[in-house]
A and B are shown apart, each in its own frame.
Chain A
């Protein structure tokens, strides 16, 4: 087979780097884009270009936002007494999909991992500590994944952030072992929230 034109090759290579996209799918997508009208492709190109310019992380909680502070943090109808600590911004989306959960979030940006060299300094722990100085927070739900690192991170946070008047809880075992939150369906996650217990 003769070599494909350079631009096409590059697009296939770039698409192939995306999660869940194999070589074959990348080729199909690239050929479909090439087959469509230039005007139909432009919105996709624009969206990709705008992504990093416009979307950043909320200054308060670390969730995706295109303002300084995200709409969840500024929503006055949210329960100010409950803070749900998660690993990644996508986990916020998983909790929001359960519907009816009206707490605020704190995104750590990962979990402790001595194997990968991720220490507390690499996570947004300082921001969490600062938020806990707000006297209205009565419960912190540690919703890190049920992996070894997720469990250890929950233990770590409950130990270093312990203070009077704040209850630390862990989401129940409804979440599949070793599974990540964004793979859990909203029913499972709702059960996990209902089954939360005090952390020892």
Chain B
């Protein structure tokens, strides 16, 4: 079982909590704004060192931290035969991560040890929302399945920012500094793009199963990788064809060299993997413009389940942990119930939040239950009041 215990210290509104988790389904219930999502956020932080709610870590430091201003999350989990301890401590201007009591130099050293798949209400906007959300979905899954990917991605981002730096400083297009940074950029960009394209294919295969499960076999979903270059460039086709990375890098290098003049006018690199996107097609149509709200919701749930299946298949000894935030509040009852049944079928450790416990327990074999009130986490076994557990 992956996550054995979770400890929060001055983390948002939770002053102190020691949570002993069950290997099955753990339910955190209570009214809104009592700290339910915070518990899930803390669990996610152990996997990635980051919050899924905010890019500004300091927001996680609780008021109770007082003068020391440190918020922390600790967790003990098993990875295959071994047992690990992670601590993430957040201070106003820095963050430190320890693995088995040794400080880590880079967050990438953490990724992949303890994996999570989460569903948060914001996911419902994934298909129609801005592309960075869809790129982030691909990057998160890739970083969890192959930690080297994260290093490549970080390098690519830095090389791209460096090229943009040259453009912003109006360095003339013939300056060899462009060649130097474009070479470095092309190598990491080619690897990043090929990995994303390959993942889109694997997700399409995996969602064939999960979409059928969720919709009862009526809808067909495909995920299509769209390279951040115009179609005329042929880059998208090269990625889809699984071109060797060095050949793709040579093509990218030539494209960026030719683009320098135009990029200089705009002061920014116009085309590249930072413009990549992931297109959802339902029944052969682009879901951004053609799908109903019900269809896009099914597609997002199918994607998350597919992620779970992919990660579980990658290493059967270390299944990922599923984090579900307020799924009942966001989905209609029928769809939510079908989804929860599919979750139960997969028998992975799940941490989920809900405003009431009864409706979840009617569908799912909840193993352990915690009540949240004003940031206090209390294990409970009593039946919650009927008014709270009623239909949401």
Find chain B residues with CB under 8 A from A115 CB: 158, 161-162, 165
A152–B164 alpha-carbon span in the complex (Å)? 14
Contact of B176 with A by CB under 8 A: yes
Range class of the B interface residue count: 20 to 34
Contact of A151 with B by CB under 8 A: yes
A155–B183 alpha-carbon span in the complex (Å)? 8
Find chain B residues with CB under 8 A from A178 CB: 106, 151
In-complex Cβ contact of A151 among B164, B166, B177, B184 (8 A) = B184
Find chain A residues with CB under 8 A from B106 CB: 178
Contact of A85 with B by CB under 8 A: no
Closest to B152 in A: A177
Find chain A residues with CB under 8 A from B165 CB: 113-115, 117
Number of interface residues of A (CB under 8 A): 19
What is the 8 Å Cβ interface bit string for chain B, positions 153-194, against chain A (1 contact, 0 not)? 001001101111110010100001101110110000000000
Q: Does B179 lie within 8 Å of A155, measured CB to CB?
A: yes
Contact of A27 with B by CB under 8 A: no
Find chain A residues with CB under 8 A from B155 CB: 147-148
Q: Does A112 lie within 8 Å of B159, measured CB to CB?
A: no
Q: Does A114 lie within 8 Å of B181, measured CB to CB?
A: yes
A160–B175 alpha-carbon span in the complex (Å)? 10
Given contacts A114-B169, A151-B184, A178-B106, contact A156 B179 (CB under 8 A): yes
Find chain A residues with CB under 8 A from B171 CB: 114, 119
Given contacts A115-B165, A159-B180, contact A152 B151 (CB under 8 A): no
What is the 8 Å Cβ interface bit string for chain A, positions 138-171, against chain B (1 contact, 0 not)? 0000000001110111011001100000000000
Q: Does A159 lie within 8 Å of B176, measured CB to CB?
A: yes
A155–B175 alpha-carbon span in the complex (Å)? 13
Find chain A residues with CB under 8 A from B180 CB: 112, 152-153, 155-156, 159
B338 to chain A, nearest CB (A): 44
A residues 69-117 in Cβ contact with B at 8 Å: 112-115, 117
Find chain A residues with CB under 8 A from B151 CB: 177-178
A residues 47-71 in Cβ contact with B at 8 Å: none
Q: Does B162 lie within 8 Å of A156, measured CB to CB?
A: no
Q: Does A148 lie within 8 Å of B162, measured CB to CB?
A: yes
A115–B163 alpha-carbon span in the complex (Å)? 9
Closest to B151 in A: A177
Q: Does B179 lie within 8 Å of A114, measured CB to CB?
A: no
A200–B159 alpha-carbon span in the complex (Å)? 18
Q: Does B184 lie within 8 Å of A155, measured CB to CB?
A: yes
A114–B155 alpha-carbon span in the complex (Å)? 15
Contact of A16 with B by CB under 8 A: no
Closest to B160 in A: A148
Contact of A120 with B by CB under 8 A: yes
A11 to chain B, nearest CB (A): 24
Find chain A residues with CB under 8 A from B183 CB: 151-152, 155
Find chain B residues with CB under 8 A from A159 CB: 176, 179-180
In-complex Cβ contact of A112 among B158, B164, B177 (8 A) = B177
B110 to chain A, nearest CB (A): 14
A113–B370 alpha-carbon span in the complex (Å)? 51
Q: Does B176 lie within 8 Å of A160, measured CB to CB?
A: yes
Find chain B residues with CB under 8 A from A148 CB: 155, 158-159, 162, 181, 184
Given contacts A114-B166, A114-B169, A177-B151, contact A152 B176 (CB under 8 A): no
Q: Does B177 lie within 8 Å of A114, measured CB to CB?
A: yes
What is the 8 Å Cβ interface bit string for chain B, positions 126-164, against chain A (1 contact, 0 not)? 000000000000000000000000010001001101111
Closest to A115 in B: B165
Interface residues of B (CB under 8 A from A): 106, 151, 155, 158-159, 161-166, 169, 171, 176-177, 179-181, 183-184
Question: What are 28 A-B interface contacts by the 8 Å CB criterion?
Answer: A112-B177, A112-B180, A113-B162, A114-B162, A114-B163, A114-B164, A114-B165, A114-B171, A115-B158, A117-B165, A119-B171, A147-B155, A148-B159, A148-B184, A149-B158, A151-B183, A152-B159, A152-B162, A152-B181, A152-B184, A153-B180, A155-B183, A155-B184, A156-B179, A156-B180, A159-B180, A178-B106, A178-B151
**4 A-B pairs with least C-beta separation:** A114-B165, A156-B180, A155-B180, A152-B180
Known A117-B169, A156-B180; further 9 A-B contacts with Cβ < 8 A: A114-B163, A115-B161, A148-B184, A151-B183, A151-B184, A155-B184, A156-B176, A159-B180, A178-B106
